[in-house]
A and B are shown apart, each in its own frame.
Chain A
Amino acid sequence: MGKTWSLTKRLIVSASLLLAAFLGIAGFSLDALYQKRATAALQNELLSHVYTLLSACRDDDNGLPVLDELMPDPRFNQIESGLFAHVQGHSNGYSWASVSVLGDELVFDEKVLPGQSVYTIQNEKMLLHFGIAWDDYEGFPNNYTFSVASDLQPYLEDLNSFRQELALWLGGSAFILMLAQVMLLRWGMLPLKQAAADIKQIEDGHREQLQRNYPVELQALTGNINSLIRHANASQQRYRKSLGDLAHSLKTPLALLMAAREENAQQLKNSLDEQLPRIDELIQYQLQRAAVMGKSTVAQNIELLPVVEKITRSLAKVYHDQRIEFDIDINADIRFRGDESDLMELLGNLIDNACKYGRKKVRITAFEQPALVISVEDDGKGIEPENRQKLLQRGFRADQKKSGQGIGLDIVNEIVRLYEAELVIAKSSLGGASVSVRFV
């Protein structure tokens, strides 16, 4: 879907669209409202002129209305004043026009029924036609139409100037709002920018952690970054330490081999047979120990059962001749929170040991109570209670081990330690050993 827009761009574009829509609607409705008001005011004015006309009427001999040439309102008497009046009788042919109509092209031919008022527009003028029934002395009603017209020019000018002012106000506020919005955005985005700068500083080695007081929304993120950094640092330190330990622990067997150069062939061979496996074990142990990821806040949730099945499928091949029967009792929804290769290492070593020391049966169970407990049992000789403590003792002492004893349980111990879990050795109902790992 192409490039991802930056947060700032998204916010600016969306807020601008919103602002434009709001100002547009506001402008349009204000304009419509004002126009309606102005029109109503003009119409009222026309109506009041009609009343002026009516009040200026005199009765003639028959009691019908006639008007003098000049009107009280001087605007009717002046050409191009912008105010016009006209009266006509519907049946008796009476027609009167104000002086101001002279020279204008207004046509008053509208006849409206009594009681009705009709507004029309003609030559940029608004006209009001007002129907009236006038009783003569004999009580006979005569229909008249009183028309008043007013020039629209002042009205249009007024409307125009309102629009200009409106545009000025709205445009001005749009500008100020946009400015404010950009500033708000900068302010809002500031913690993000700071976080990015802080991360850059960490990259450059000027800083170890994100220490600033970040806003709540960012804290989850910065917290995770911090724990990732801690995790990376810890594993780096572990590698460094393992490397140191490895180099250090290799010195003894190497010194022994150096001394062995002086010995005769048989002695030399014996020394080699003794020291080479020891060197190999030391390397394997330190390498694997360093590779353990350990507990992390950004750990994955791994389904346990497929991993166990993979390992037992593999070990069934390796221990083909023993025809070991694997009894797996693990619910499909049980998950391990941590690193997959750590889990593989833990289970691989435990199940491999069970196959090695068991006879026919290996049982693997897991349950959550609510913390995860994984147990591996076999039907071998089991582990004597007095030896259990020794096996649980942490750390690997190559010099205290007999070659071939394997480093499996040492790696298990290391993983258990890094996950702050607990290793429990007991007697299994199958007859052999039961080794359980309890996570917390």
Chain B
Amino acid sequence: MRLLIVEDEQSLREQLKQRLVDKGYSIDAAADGREGLFLGSEYPMDLAIIDIGLPEMSGIEVIKELRKQQKNFPILILTARSNWQDKVDGLEAGADDYLVKPFHIEELFARVNALLRRSTGHSTSLLEYTPLSLDTARQEVKVNDEPVDLTSYEYRVLEYLMLHAGKVISKMELTEHIYDQDFDRDSNVLEVFVGRLRKKIDPQGIFRPIETVRGRGYRFSLTAETDG
């Protein structure tokens, strides 16, 4: 999942970025509204965290502009003011949720997770495709109720595919949503990840959850038992 952070306060931006990277998201960060708008318009984001009080261009303007460009990824606003006028202004401009500063980082994770789930049409954080299950909140993967240990990148690949289960996801799209802008796209590292992922979740090759669609990409092909 690729997230955009637009926050002018450097220490908070760095802290958020670090914590979200640790959580397995790929992050693009901008220090002002203009840069944030550029990143949000040019790269395929899954979610944006935007501070309302930004230099150059206010967070509200950035949100309005993104929505005008038909960018429909969820937006979480951060505001230092807890009055309703500001919250309502942000939500009316096109944001989906708000968080008042100061906040617990756990609260931010929960909101981000809920928004991502909501945007992919899932109502719970648990994605179950027997015998595979993935909890987006805890970032846990289980096969037949046995936890599977995945690296952060492997988890990201699996989560993205599972959130878009049944759809063919091109390598390009997958790469873009899993890595930030500095990633070298020409390498075949993605294929390596998918290969390792297949071995970890399905060592015997029994249910083959990830299908390779030749020339087009990958598809998560299990059918859901319980899908919100």
Which A positions have Cβ atoms within 8 angstroms of B? 276, 280, 284, 287-288, 291, 310-311, 313-314, 317-318, 320-321, 340-341, 344-345, 347-349
Q: Are A344 and B96 also in contact (CB < 8 A) when A291-B83, A320-B118 are?
A: no
Q: Is A321 a contact partner of B123 (Cβ separation < 8 A)? A: yes
**Hey, which chain A residues are within 8 Å of B87, CB to CB?**
314, 348
**Hey, which chain A residues are within 8 Å of B118, CB to CB?**
320-321
Q: Is A321 a contact partner of B82 (Cβ separation < 8 A)? A: no
What 7 A-B pairs come out closest when comparing CB atoms? A348-B84, A314-B91, A344-B84, A314-B88, A341-B85, A344-B85, A284-B82
Q: Is A311 a contact partner of B96 (Cβ separation < 8 A)? A: no
Q: Are A313 and B91 also in contact (CB < 8 A) when A320-B96, A321-B114, A321-B123 are?
A: yes
List the B residue with the shortest CB-CB distance to A314. Answer: B91
Q: Is A317 a contact partner of B84 (Cβ separation < 8 A)? A: no
Q: How far is the CA of A53 from the CA of B87 in the complex (A)?
A: 112
> CB of B135 within 8 A of chain A?
no
Q: Is A288 a contact partner of B92 (Cβ separation < 8 A)? A: no
Of the candidates B82, B83, B84, the one having the most CB atoms from chain A within 10 angstroms of its own CB is B84
Which residue in B84, B95, B97, B102 is a CB contact (below 8 Å) of A345?
B84
Q: How far is the CA of A37 from the CA of B100 in the complex (A)?
A: 95
Known A-B contacts: A288-B82, A313-B92, A344-B85. Give 6 more (CB < 8 A): A311-B84, A317-B95, A317-B97, A340-B85, A344-B83, A348-B84
Instruction: Report B87-106 CB contacts with A as 1/0, cut-off 8 Å.
Output: 11001100111101010000
Which residue in B92, B100, B114, B123 is a CB contact (below 8 Å) of A314?
B92
List the A residue with the shortest CB-CB distance to B123. Answer: A321
**Hey, which chain B residues are within 8 Å of A280, CB to CB?**
102
Q: Is A344 a contact partner of B123 (Cβ separation < 8 A)? A: no
Name the distance in Å between A123's Cβ and chain B's nearest Cβ. 94
Q: How far is the CA of A269 from the CA of B96 in the complex (A)?
A: 33
Ordered by A's residue number, 6 sampled pairs between the chains whose C-beta atoms are within 8 Å are A291-B83, A313-B92, A314-B91, A317-B95, A320-B118, A340-B85
List the A residue with the shortest CB-CB distance to B102. Answer: A280
Which residue in A310, A321, A341, A347 is a CB contact (below 8 Å) of B92?
A310
**Hey, which chain A residues are within 8 Å of B82, CB to CB?**
284, 287-288
Q: Is B91 a contact partner of A341 (Cβ separation < 8 A)? A: no
Q: How far is the CA of A347 from the CA of B82 in the complex (A)?
A: 14
**Hey, which chain B residues are within 8 Å of A288, CB to CB?**
82-83
Q: How far is the CA of A317 from the CA of B97 in the complex (A)?
A: 7
Q: How far is the CA of A208 from the CA of B101 in the complex (A)?
A: 39
Q: How far is the CA of A341 from the CA of B98 in the complex (A)?
A: 18
**Hey, which chain B residues are within 8 Å of A284, CB to CB?**
82, 100
Name the distance in Å between A318's Cβ and chain B's nearest Cβ. 6
Q: Are A318 and B91 also in contact (CB < 8 A) when A280-B102, A284-B82, A345-B83 are?
A: yes
Q: Are A317 and B123 also in contact (CB < 8 A) when A310-B88, A344-B84 are?
A: no
Q: Are A341 and B83 also in contact (CB < 8 A) when A311-B88, A314-B91 are?
A: yes
**Hey, which chain A residues are within 8 Å of B91, CB to CB?**
313-314, 317-318
**Hey, which chain B residues are within 8 Å of A321, CB to CB?**
114, 118, 123
List the B residue with the shortest CB-CB distance to A310. Answer: B88
Q: Is B96 a contact partner of A317 (Cβ separation < 8 A)? A: yes
Q: How far is the CA of A291 from the CA of B100 in the complex (A)?
A: 17
Q: How far is the CA of A363 from the CA of B102 in the complex (A)?
A: 31
Which residue in A291, A310, A318, A349 is a CB contact (below 8 Å) of B97?
A318
Q: How far is the CA of A310 from the CA of B123 in the complex (A)?
A: 25
Name the distance in Å between B47's Cβ and chain A's nearest Cβ. 14
**Hey, which chain B residues are within 8 Å of A341, CB to CB?**
83-85
Of the candidates A288, A317, A318, A341, the one having the most CB atoms from chain B within 10 angstroms of its own CB is A317
Which residue in A310, A318, A344 is a CB contact (below 8 Å) of B98?
A318
**Hey, which chain A residues are within 8 Å of B92, CB to CB?**
310, 313-314
Name the distance in Å between B50's Cβ and chain A's nearest Cβ. 15
Q: Is B84 a contact partner of A349 (Cβ separation < 8 A)? A: yes
